[in-house]
Structure 1
Amino acid sequence: MAAPALICLAHGSRDTRTSKTVTALVKEVKAQRRDLRIERAFLDHSRPAFQDVVDRVVAAGHEEIVVVPLLLTQFEESGDRVTDELERAQARHGSLRIHTTDVLGLEPRFLEVLDERMRAALKDARVRELDALVLAAAGSTDPLANQAVARLARVWGAHHRLPVTAAYASSAPPATGEAVRAFRAEGRRHIAVASLFLAPGPLDDRARELALEAGAVAVSEPLGAHPEIARAVLARYAVGAVELVPV
């Protein structure tokens, strides 16, 4: 019996950089597991759409699908949308067994990717000294999601022995500019901002713009199509595939 197919499901965006990054990430996932049927799909704006991908996978003979949402934090509205899409797919393909996993989440090992992106940003900006860091994320109306970002910021700060503040591009304070200005008010002048976004897009752009306006010396690129992110996708898939095994 063939292993379940894997669909990497992203929000999608009118910003083409988002879909290009998702495509590159899925390519990396495929490189790590060439034995699997792996597809990308989007909920909005970008193509291919989720239902179209499900149709294609079913037509290829797969009866089981694991869906991994490409999200760093859990959004209630996103969860509802993913559930709706899975129910539609199940209704259209009665014999299909389909399971969605937890989101990627904020794995401590992602800090290694943040460090790599940050080193590149500091090199480009010719910055040799830091006295504070800001961890910039999308932000959520769910306080638990924001608390998860704040916890990761504390772990990151402890690792580098620097003060770190979590900041958000929407839905929750502080914004990146506010976080940078707060550090500057303490007398700190060498403040860098790490982008805790999976892919570039409007929120990442806004966080970057506000940080630089406030005096940040460098802002890193999003996590992107890094092998560590791909490994996290496959770890979620492995758990989801087990969930599909009949008891």
Structure 2
Amino acid sequence: MNSPILIACAHGTSSSLGAAEVNALRDGIAALRPGLDVREAYVDVQDPELPAVVTGLPAGESAVVVPLLLSVGYHVKVDIARAVKSRPDTFAAAPLGPDPRLASLLDRRLREAGVTEDDAVVLAAAGSSDPNASRNVEALADQLRALRPNRIVPGYGASAKPSVPDAVAALREEGALVAAGPQGKVVIASYLLAPGFFHDQLAKAGADLVTAPLLPSPVLAEIALERYDAALAVRA
């Protein structure tokens, strides 16, 4: 019996570099599981759109939609849920985050950027109106705090508060109120999958530096396959 098709569903981006990084992630998933049918889909911006991919599945084939997204939110709870509901034997896995391995990857990006323990960090996520998404980001922030002594606060690109610029400004104000001791930088840790619109906005948020996005890293493909396997185990 063939394994169910894995539909690797990303947000979509107009950035050619971001699109290439996500395509490489799909290739990485396929390389880790030879013979698995890994298909491309998006919830916004790019084609093929997820509903069309689900509709076009071969008759009688089952599939798991793995969100290449970092938190629960509208795209997971509405767009992906609606798409899988439209066809029997098609169901959704959990998103990639939160996960301690993503916190470790963020820690690595901060170290690569030369961030010291005196620096304050804004954990910058895309943001969602769904409060579960903010809880996911807070959970990831706790995982990152377990790895680093820095002051770490979440900030969001849209639909949740504080915004990334507001979080940066608040940390600067905190630093200005410190009477003595070293004054560190304010750093944005990009909790985004790949380059694109939201990552570009981080450079305008007033921080001293911005880390690179999570991709490229093989850990994302490993997590995606674990989400796929976990979804199959629940359905077994």
- The interval holding the TM-score normalised by the smaller chain is 0.7 to 0.9
Asked if 1:105 is matched to 2:97, the reply is yes
Structure 2, gaps ≥5 residues long: 176-182
Tell me which of 218, 231, 235 is aligned to 1:240. 231
* TM-score, normalised relative to structure 1: 0.82
Whole-angstrom distance in 2 between the partners of 1:140 and 1:160: 26
Asked if 1:142 is matched to 2:142, the reply is no
Q: Which sits farther off after the overlay, 26-35 or 153-162?
A: 153-162
Percent of matched pairs sharing the same residue:
35
CA RMSD of aligned residues (A): 2.3
- Cα distance, 1:67–1:153 mapped onto 2, change above 3 Å: same
Q: Residue 93 of structure 1 aligns with which residue?
A: none
Q: Residue 208 of structure 2 aligns with which residue?
A: 217
- Cα distance, 1:186–1:141 mapped onto 2, change above 3 Å: same
* 1:52-91 matches, cutoff 5 A: 52-54=52-54, 57-58=57-58, 63-76=61-74, 78-88=76-86, 90=87
Secondary structure at 1:186 match in 2 = helix
Per residue, is there more helix in 1 or in 2? Answer: 1
Tell me which of 195, 199, 208 is aligned to 1:204. 199
Amino acid at match of 2:84: L
Asked if 1:114 is matched to 2:91, the reply is no
CA displacement at 1:77 relative to structure 2: 5.0
Q: CA contact under 8 A between 1:86 and 1:98: conserved in structure 2? A: yes
CA displacement at 1:137 relative to structure 2: 0.6
Q: Deviations over 1:61-84 (max 9, x none)?
A: x72211111111111354211122
Q: Residue 46 of structure 2 aligns with which residue?
A: 46
* TM-score, normalised relative to structure 2: 0.86
CA displacement at 1:240 relative to structure 2: 1.8
Structure 1, gaps ≥5 residues long: 91-95
Q: CA contact under 8 A between 1:134 and 1:166: conserved in structure 2? A: yes
CA displacement at 1:191 relative to structure 2: 2.0
Q: CA contact under 8 A between 1:129 and 1:190: conserved in structure 2? A: no
Q: CA contact under 8 A between 2:194 and 2:215: conserved in structure 1? A: yes
Q: Residue 217 of structure 2 aligns with which residue?
A: 226
Whole-angstrom distance in 1 between the partners of 2:96 and 2:19: 17
Secondary structure at 1:25 match in 2 = helix
Q: Which sits farther off after the overlay, 173-182 or 232-241?
A: 173-182
Q: Residue 5 of structure 1 aligns with which residue?
A: 5
CA displacement at 1:192 relative to structure 2: 1.6
